[in-house]
């Protein structure tokens, strides 16, 4: 296979994963809107993990950046209710937060996959699938404490902040995100093996 055809296949793969991220995140935001969740559940981490594992940490960061841009657009448009409140409170930090947490989730998925896949590629995918939501949620929670403390206090409504952050703000979303990643990681592993054979 020539270098040009490899590059075309890579670009096609990244484009398909990017389109998947856009569709999944928009659907997730619309579902959150109908169920009145403050933040949409991130369903896009598996395509990010697949891209990071198949093409490397830089591609993972790029795909995470695509996710971040879509989240930002949804925040500005008011389709992500909690994100819209953050955008209103501090637009610059919201831009940086959306882009940084997505890119970091993809980058570290690629790093962890590369480290662990040397011994076992299936475990590498599982590790990437776990680290991605941990990084995404961790950066979000850190930003809430550092830059949106007044908003966080108002949302907690007298509940201890740490308790609210763990059980209210991130709890349900994080559990669903990590569970869906764990359930779908075998599928991701198969996709990566198919890509490797090609």
- Concatenating the DSSP letter of every residue in 103-151 gives HHHHHHHHHHHHHHHTT-HHHHHHHHHHHHHHHHHHHHHHHHHHH-HHH
Q: How far, CA to CA in Å, does 185 sit from each of 49, 70, 177, 181?
A: 9, 23, 12, 6
More confident position, 169 or 100: 100
Give which of 19, 18, 4, 99 is closest to 51, Cα–Cα.
18
Give which of 48, 69, 187 is closest to 128, Cα–Cα.
48
Look up the domain containing 136 and give its range.
3-197
pTM (two decimals): 0.88
Structural domain count, the chain: 1
Q: What is the pLDDT of residues 17-75, one digit of tens each?
A: 999 999 989 988 887 777 655 566 677 888 999 999 989 999 999 999 999 999 999 99
Q: What is the pLDDT of residues 101-157, one digit of tens each?
A: 999 999 999 999 999 999 998 889 889 989 999 999 999 999 999 999 999 999 888
Give which of 140, 174, 185 is closest to 48, Cα–Cα.
185
Confidence bin at 176 (pLDDT 50/70/90): confident
CATH number at residue 66: 1.10.1760.20
Give which of 118, 117, 136, 135 is closest to 126, Cα–Cα.
117
Question: In 3-state terms, what secondary structure has residue 42?
Answer: coil
Please give the pLDDT value at position 151.
92
């Amino acid at each position: 296979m020539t270098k040009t055809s490899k590059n075309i296949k890579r670009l096609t793969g990244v484009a398909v994963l990017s389109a998947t991220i856009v569709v999944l995140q928009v659907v997730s935001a619309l579902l959150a809107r109908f169920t009145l969740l403050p933040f949409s559940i991130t369903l896009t981490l598996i395509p990010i993990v697949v891209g990071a594992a198949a093409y490397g940490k830089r591609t993972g960061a790029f795909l995470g950046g695509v996710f971040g841009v879509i989240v930002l657009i949804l925040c500005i448009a008011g389709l992500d209710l909690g994100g819209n409140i953050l955008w209103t409170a501090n637009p610059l930090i919201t831009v940086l937060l959306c882009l940084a947490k997505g890119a970091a989730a993809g980058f570290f998925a690629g790093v962890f996959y590369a480290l662990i896949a040397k011994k076992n590629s299936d475990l590498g995918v599982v590790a990437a699938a776990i680290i991605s939501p941990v990084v995404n949620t961790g950066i979000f929670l850190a930003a809430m404490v550092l830059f949106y403390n007044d908003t966080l206090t108002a949302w907690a409504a007298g509940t201890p902040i740490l308790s609210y952050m763990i059980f209210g703000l991130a709890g349900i979303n994080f559990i669903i995100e990590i569970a869906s990643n764990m359930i779908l990681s075998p599928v991701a592993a198969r996709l990566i093996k198919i890509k490797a054979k090609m």
